[in-house]
Structures are given as C-alpha cells and as structure tokens.
Amino acid sequence: MKKNYNFINYNENESLKNLFSDKALKNYNSKIFNLIIREINNNDKICDFGAGIGTFSKRFNKKKIICVEADKENFLLLKKTNITYSTLNSLRNNSMDLIYSINVLEHIKDDEKIISLINKKLKKKGKFILFVPAFNFLYSKFDLKVGHFRRYKLNQLKDKIFKKNFSISKISYFDSIGFFLAIIFKYINSSDPFPSVKSIKFYDKYIFPLNTFFDFFFKKILGKNIFLVAIKN
C-alpha cells in the first residue's frame, strides 16, 4: 500500500504514540471531540481524514465513521472496527456530510490540493472541520521530527479555504496557554524534541482546563492551534 501523505507513524515511536494518546491528553482530546460533535447531525455520513490510531473515530462508539489513513499499520488497525480507505480518492464525490481532520493538514506538502479534494467529496453545504498547529514562528524541532511542513495563521488558512470553494462558519485559535508554553519549549529545550509523557499529563490535567477562561479572551489573537469549520459552497 502506497503512502500518499506524510502522516505520523505512531508505531515507529512508542513514546510518541503515548504522547498523543487519550491517557496523556484526556482533556485536550475531549475538548476537540466536543467541538466536532457540536457540528454533527444524527444522520450525517462522516469521514475522519488522517484517522491515525483512531483517537477520535473510536469515540463515536456505535456510530460507524469512515476513516482515511495512509499508514499501513494504522490502516489495518482501523479496518478492524471501521470502513477504512488509504486515500480520499476511494470516496465517491459529493458523498459525505462532514469530513473532519485533526492535526493532519500540516503533514501534507500540497495542502491546497487536499482541501480541494475534500471539497469534491462533500455534499453541497457539507462541513469540513479542521484542526491544525498555529504560527510558523512556533515551528520547532518537534514539528520537524513529526513531519510538519508548516504551521498556520488565521488569515493564511482563511485564504486557502476560500480559494477552494468553501465559506467559513467558525474559525479561532485554540489553547492560548499552550501558545506561551510552546515558545518556552522551543527555546529552552535544545536536546529532546519531545516533551515527556509525564509533563504532558500534568499540563492536560492541571493547566489545559484553564483555557476555558483564557481562550475566551485570546481566541481571535493567539493560540497553539487553530480550529475551523468550513461549509462547501
């Protein structure tokens, strides 16, 4: 199976797999999932593009989500519980009500090509939910190690979305506290590109919940990530 995109292969790095798991990022992942759920109707046909190890698709429980995952090992893992394809081209055009993609687009060199392809797979007025890392000046050894081509700013992402026949329903920065910690991590930590699982768990449990307050004030200005909901025109 050909790998079409440069996704993370969690299976090659067990510590990296643990770093992004629900055990380490329980509150963080729950918050993102809740943002997705708000946009879904009962009978929506949904696709998880870049589903990875199923971090979000498995949260739907009995509702079957179509997964797209290019990594061979992750593909075989997902296929046990979901309809899974290795490429978006396997989906019929105008067939999906909603496609969401969490921390994937930054791994793809030609991101605009993928945005255009996602538009083709959505029904008219279908939703595209996107979550990506923010601000290129935050680009660090971590981004390089996990295969990020870029990080994004609001206006830059808006332009890419508008060009591909979408309108934008919602867009804001996410995790304002994480923005400042990312700066600290980039310039202080010069050896290991990955934070420890212990530190991630501490952040997720004790610090991240404070974003409920801080993101209210800063979500239009700064954050470690961007959350976007686009509608196919």
| C-beta of residue 105 within 8 angstroms of C-beta of residue 39 | no
pLDDT at 88: 95
Residue 160 CB contacts under 8 Å (≥ 6 apart), including other chains: 111, 112, 115
pLDDT at 19: 55
pLDDT at 9: 45
Q: 3-class secondary structure for the chain?
A: CCCCCCCCCHHHCHHHHHHCCCCCCHHHHHHHHHHHHCCCCCCCCEEEECCCCCCCHHHHCCCCCEEECCCHHHHHHHHCCCCEECCHHHCCCCCEEEEEEECCHHHCCCHHHHHHHHHHHEEEEEEEEEEEEECHHHCCHHHHHHCCCCCECHHHHHHHHHHCCEEEEEEEEECHHHHHHHHHHHHHCCCCCCCCHHHHHHHHHHHHHHHHHHHHHHCCCCCCEEEEEEEEC
61-100: pLDDT as tens digits: 777 799 999 989 899 989 988 899 999 999 999 999 999 9
Mean pLDDT for the chain overall: 88
- Residue 176: CB atoms within 10 A of its CB come to 21
6-19: pLDDT as tens digits: 444 444 444 555 55
Q: Check pLDDT > 90 for residue 208.
A: yes
| C-beta of residue 121 within 8 angstroms of C-beta of residue 88 | yes
Residue 86 CB contacts under 8 Å (≥ 6 apart), including other chains: 1, 2, 4, 68, 69, 70, 75
Cα distance between residue 130 and residue 36, in whole Å: 9
> Phi and psi of 222, rounded to 5°?
-155, 160
pLDDT at 198: 87
User: What is the rounded average pLDDT of the residues 123-133?
Assistant: 97
Cα distance between residue 117 and residue 223, in whole Å: 28
Angle of helix 176-188 relative to helix 211-218, nearest 10 degrees, comes to 90
Q: Check pLDDT > 70 for residue 31.
A: yes
User: What is the rounded average pLDDT of the residues 137-144?
Assistant: 90
